[in-house]
Structure 1
Amino acid sequence: MRIIPLLLCFLPVFTALKFLSYNPVYGRSHLTFMHALHETLIDAGHEVHVITPIIDSRLKLEKTRAKEIIIPQSSYSLAFEGGLEADMISNSWVTEGVLGAFGGVKRLMYAWHGQCNFTLQHPGLLEQLAKEKYDAAISEPICFCGFGLFEKLGIKNVASALSTAASEGSFWATGAPSFPSYVPGVMGKHSDRMTFLERVSNTLGSAAPLLFWPVLQAPFDEMFKQNFGADFPTSADLLKQTSLFFINSEPITDFPRVITHKIIDIGGISVAGGHKPLNKTWSDILDLRKKTVLLSFGSVAKSYLMPDSYKQTIRRTIQKFPDVTFIWKYEKPEDGISEGIENLVESTWVPQNDMLHDPRLSLFITHCGQGSTIESTTAGMPLIVIPVLGDQQRNAQTIKRIETGIVLEKTILAQGDTLENTIREVLGNDKYSLKAKRVGEQIRGRPFTARDTFVRNMEFMARFGPLRQFEHYGTQLNFFQYYCLDVFASLASIVFGVLAGFFLCARAIVRRCTGGSKRKVE
């Protein structure tokens, strides 16, 4: 029996780490992604504290084992929830391009900024957090408040976690090169194979967010200086100092790109927990007809905010498929959107991930938010994609690239038969379901799980960070130096000078020769 205690001495000693997360409540997909990160760390035996400022009180918080510090809504968040959000999303259903998206993001930042100031001044919060002695911290870089808070608390081991695919901001913050010649911008609508004019459009579209960033960051920088002193770092500097940059990107489906040591793909971590069988209510609905179609535009671009002409097109289209059950996630039952349509089931909420894994579901019509895109591709579900705003256009192009669905412009919802014909094509052509199943098998069969990748890197950063070795000097170079444009310009000048010298010498020799010939003739 004495040998057992002796053997225990040789077992590795596990030390639980303490992590702090800043996670504002806005957007179900963002909330779900960060929740998955918290629970993954807790599953690994660590302690997680979460600062949860409420921006949208209509979103139900998920059950968590983390210690939550809930910050109530500020007047800015109440105003956003009360009307600004509806105006922003309604406008997104009909606007196009980066400029339209920027207007919405700017209004959202107004709410985030106000909520941040309210949070930082919350009675006793900073004192309470300072006593905890956190090993590391993490936040999503869509809102800059968390990074300022971490700096104030003296937490140097900081990671970013982006619930979308890699953006121009993440490229800039990590010093990774951005190549708009073949990498679509996060707000773009092009694939990786672009014509000349598309490359021009993608280059301008990729540059636009970087020009907007200072406008969005300025209110946070001013607020940090007011609260913490004039010498407090800027939001840009704080982002550049993060040791790791986790991206909700799945390499099997995303566009290939160049990255740095800081960037780590953890796509699918929010669905890594698997799926559950549907309850009897939903199971009975899927048994109503041989085929079932799920229609959902996510938690941000809500269906009830789309133009009435779009809604009526969807209603007319559904009526043309009496042998197919349609489930429409629609947020306002009082609108009576399913009234008079026997094969339409409306619900304010659906168990989306569980339903996507049910073999009785035939098709998913989606806005192609990053969360829905990863859920559907992991499940091997064929898609009809109708992107509305933000990164959804880019996500849609990834689906087009892997050929697991068809992409439609949102404006077709104001027209006639396009949606109907597309549904008939995907339901009637096995190539979409076969390719979708193959992609799903590839994702589920990857050799390294997103959960393990995330945990191991967070543990490493907490114990050995800040990881300044991952920072390359390219972040200190200007645009011309980074891409060696000054070098190419200098070399071109030298080549031009040499060629010009040869030309002048040759011309002088020719003139001398021809001049001598003329004198001999005379």
Structure 2
Amino acid sequence: MRNTVFYSYFCIFFAIKIVFHDGYKILGVFPSSSPSHYILGSALLKGLAAKGHKVSAITAFPHNEQIENYEEIPIPKVLESFEDVLKDIEKPGGKSLLQYYNSIMTTGSTLSEKVLEQPIVQRLLTSKNRTFDLIICEIYLNDALYGLGQHFNAPLITLSPMGSSLLSSILSGAPIPPSFVPNILLGSTDRMNFVERALNLAVLTVENIIYQLYWLPYQSKVYNKFFPNAKLTFEEVMMNVSLILLNQHFSISNPEPLLQNMVEVGGLHISRQKQLLPLEIQTFLDKAHDGAIYFSLGTNCKSSGLRMEAIEAMLRVFRSMKQRVLWKYENASLPGKSDNVLIRNWFPQNDILAHPNVKLFITHGGLLSTTEAVYHGKPLLAIPVLMDQFMNVARAVEKGYAIKLSTSQLSSDDIFKRTLTELLTDPKYSSKAKQISASYRDQPLEPLEVAIFWVEYVLRHKGAPQLLSTALNLNFFQYHSLDTIAVVYGSVVLILLLVGFSLKKFVNCIFGCKRISKRKTE
């Protein structure tokens, strides 16, 4: 009996080992014009590779690292088509939010087509030897790329670098009530007054109309062009996204309606293991006895693109301060830089924010940067430039760990220094940052572990159709119950009219009979 039980356990163990020995084959698609999107995506893909899965990544920003089970499929030529647009996006000042949004739309409008026509991608599509068990694709106005799922007969998972939005709502069927879920284009929080709610509704409506009547038909044409023998229609592909990973967490953003196939994994890119800083940076920070400030406008926006009067004003302010400053500045030199300022075109941001002497983060308010600041409990001086940064900053200001400045205000020595001084000397900002940090860190599992669990859940359950909402099968009128409301309320109104008409006739009949009876007695 014991031998039988032992043999059974051995067979089960051996079978599991065989099934999972080589892992699943996973294709990640992160072709957007923003390096930060691939920072997020590669963190997930490398985590999956570490679990034994064979991972390939299509990206315009290859890291060129030698990692076991991980290969990159570089498509840098895609960016050449968008050089002018990218230069426009990278300018931190002088453009309205609407103009930036137009630039992003221009980039995205041909992104899917440019990716799919790359020779290296075409070879992948036509190869008879390449198969994948799962496709993970970023959400970035690239809907036609979702066709890779049906092409390889594999489930499709999407990752939204900007958290929940209209795009994730369309893929999941989740509601986005404009009364308390702000549009990412507006610098609002979930606490909106009447005017903000009205504007939020208007923007959501216009965006939805553009997306449904212009954007999706265009992406459908691209899909049909590159997947002429597709097993599913473009509409069916859009309705069969197994899982949507959201780069957000309710402690940083706001509570909102999410469906079962929408999972918050904000901060999955943050390494929980302390890394050694380069010696020069470590020494610079260790000697910052009065504290240090870290200054970066992210991967798209460049500090060197700021107006010269703003750069000179900030340099004057930094020169007058006792704190040390690490400034991500893209040019090799910065005339007028004082000794307490260290410039580099790249810094290990997460590891710098982890240093105890860093007291303040000057940031553009991107979601990756904001999440890292929250994780390490650092207050923000936020300078939003485009897209969701305005909403991220508005949330940080409302929660009490940030102050917002516009790019035009950077030219004022007085405003800039007064803001820095307030953030550095008033303990309420640091206290709030630590409070939010404690709330964010209080999770049952690390975000990367959560993401990997759900990715493997989809693999184990062959696409996990049980996660999909039937809301995806409803049209606009059915989804919002407009058809049933019209019938039910219409019926009620009709019944009330009939009852009212009948009562009127009954009353008229009674009073008419009384008048007739009265005349007869007279």
Normalised by the length of structure 1, the TM-score is 0.87
Partners of 1:365 and 1:384 within 8 A in 2:
yes
Give a deviation string over 1:322-348, Cα, whole Å, max 9, x none.
2122222111235x2x52534332221
Give me the whole-angstrom Cα distance separating, in 1, the residues matched to 2:239 and 2:394: 29
Q: Which residue of 1 aligns with 2:363?
A: 366
Select 2:163's aligned residue among 143, 162, 165.
Answer: 165
Give a deviation string over 1:436-490, Cα, whole Å, max 9, x none.
1122223223112222222222222112222222222211222232122333343
Structure 2 CA distance for partners of 1:96 and 1:235, relative to 1, 3 Å: farther
**Cα offset, 1:198, TM superposition:** 0.4
Select 1:68's aligned residue among 53, 67, 71.
Answer: 71
Q: Which residue of 1 aligns with 2:79?
A: 77
Give me the whole-angstrom Cα distance separating, in 1, the residues matched to 2:205 and 2:325: 40
- Tell whether 2:404 aligns with 1:407: yes
Q: Which residue of 1 aligns with 2:38?
A: 31
**Cα offset, 1:493, TM superposition:** 3.0
Q: Which residue of 2 aligns with 1:447?
A: 444
The SS at the match of 1:124 is helix
- Tell whether 2:429 aligns with 1:428: no
Give me the whole-angstrom Cα distance separating, in 2, the residues matched to 1:317 and 1:266: 38
User: Which aligned pairs between 1:78-227 and structure 2 lie closer than 5 A?
Assistant: 78-81=80-83, 83-90=84-91, 93-97=93-97, 99-110=98-109, 112-119=111-118, 122=121, 124-128=123-127, 130-142=128-140, 143-144=142-143, 146-155=145-154, 157-214=155-212, 215-227=214-226
- Tell whether 2:275 aligns with 1:276: yes
Partners of 1:109 and 1:216 within 8 A in 2:
no
Give me the whole-angstrom Cα distance separating, in 1, the residues matched to 2:63 and 2:24: 28
Q: Superposition RMSD on alpha carbons, in Å?
A: 3.1
Structure 2 CA distance for partners of 1:226 and 1:111, relative to 1, 3 Å: closer
Percent identical pairs in the alignment equals: 24
The SS at the match of 2:95 is coil
**Cα offset, 1:247, TM superposition:** 0.8
Give me the whole-angstrom Cα distance separating, in 1, the residues matched to 2:181 and 2:268: 24
Structure 2 CA distance for partners of 1:398 and 1:139, relative to 1, 3 Å: same
Give me the whole-angstrom Cα distance separating, in 2, the residues matched to 1:304 and 1:432: 28
Amino acid at match of 2:247: N
User: Which aligned pairs between 1:307-456 and structure 2 lie closer than 5 A?
Assistant: 307-319=307-319, 321-334=320-333, 336=334, 338-414=335-411, 417-456=414-453
Give me the whole-angstrom Cα distance separating, in 1, the residues matched to 2:132 and 2:229: 25
Give me the whole-angstrom Cα distance separating, in 1, the residues matched to 2:161 and 2:418: 33
Partners of 2:115 and 2:121 within 8 A in 1:
no
Partners of 1:303 and 1:331 within 8 A in 2:
yes
Amino acid at match of 2:306: M
**Cα offset, 1:230, TM superposition:** 7.3
**Cα offset, 1:185, TM superposition:** 1.4
The SS at the match of 1:182 is coil
The SS at the match of 2:181 is coil
Q: Which residue of 1 aligns with 2:25?
A: 18
**Cα offset, 1:93, TM superposition:** 3.0
**Cα offset, 1:249, TM superposition:** 1.1
Partners of 1:165 and 1:186 within 8 A in 2:
no
The SS at the match of 2:266 is coil
Partners of 1:35 and 1:64 within 8 A in 2:
no
**Cα offset, 1:187, TM superposition:** 2.0
Give me the whole-angstrom Cα distance separating, in 2, the residues matched to 1:25 and 1:66: 23
The SS at the match of 2:490 is helix
**Runs of at least 5 residues in structure 1 that lack an aligned partner in the other structure:** none
Give me the whole-angstrom Cα distance separating, in 1, the residues matched to 2:351 and 2:373: 10
Give me the whole-angstrom Cα distance separating, in 2, the residues matched to 1:471 and 1:160: 14
The SS at the match of 1:304 is helix
**Cα offset, 1:389, TM superposition:** 0.7
User: Which aligned pairs between 1:39-50 and structure 2 lie closer than 5 A?
Assistant: 39-50=46-57
Give me the whole-angstrom Cα distance separating, in 2, the residues matched to 1:62 and 1:456: 25
Structure 2 CA distance for partners of 1:132 and 1:70, relative to 1, 3 Å: closer
Give me the whole-angstrom Cα distance separating, in 2, the residues matched to 1:237 and 1:416: 56
The SS at the match of 2:241 is coil
The SS at the match of 1:271 is coil
Structure 2 CA distance for partners of 1:313 and 1:167, relative to 1, 3 Å: farther
**Cα offset, 1:300, TM superposition:** 0.7
Structure 2 CA distance for partners of 1:345 and 1:486, relative to 1, 3 Å: same
Partners of 2:112 and 2:145 within 8 A in 1:
no
Give me the whole-angstrom Cα distance separating, in 1, the residues matched to 2:229 and 2:166: 28
Structure 2 CA distance for partners of 1:309 and 1:226, relative to 1, 3 Å: same
Give a deviation string over 1:219-259, Cα, whole Å, max 9, x none.
54323322332767565542321111111112322211111
Give me the whole-angstrom Cα distance separating, in 1, the residues matched to 2:29 and 2:422: 44
Partners of 2:136 and 2:159 within 8 A in 1:
yes
Q: Which residue of 2 aligns with 1:51?
A: 58
Give a deviation string over 1:355-405, Cα, whole Å, max 9, x none.
111110010011111111111111111112221111111211221243222
Amino acid at match of 1:95: K
Give a deviation string over 1:194-223, Cα, whole Å, max 9, x none.
111100111222334333335444454323
Give me the whole-angstrom Cα distance separating, in 1, the residues matched to 2:120 and 2:288: 54
Deviates more, 1:63-72 or 1:35-44: 63-72
Partners of 1:188 and 1:206 within 8 A in 2:
no
Q: Which residue of 1 aligns with 2:483?
A: 486
Give me the whole-angstrom Cα distance separating, in 1, the residues matched to 2:380 and 2:39: 22
**Cα offset, 1:305, TM superposition:** 2.3
Give me the whole-angstrom Cα distance separating, in 1, the residues matched to 2:68 and 2:262: 28
The SS at the match of 2:362 is strand
Structure 2 CA distance for partners of 1:150 and 1:486, relative to 1, 3 Å: closer
Partners of 1:22 and 1:51 within 8 A in 2:
yes
User: Which aligned pairs between 1:297-316 and structure 2 lie closer than 5 A?
Assistant: 297-316=297-316
Amino acid at match of 1:131: N
Partners of 1:137 and 1:158 within 8 A in 2:
yes
The SS at the match of 2:82 is helix
Structure 2 CA distance for partners of 1:145 and 1:70, relative to 1, 3 Å: farther
Give me the whole-angstrom Cα distance separating, in 1, the residues matched to 2:433 and 2:445: 21
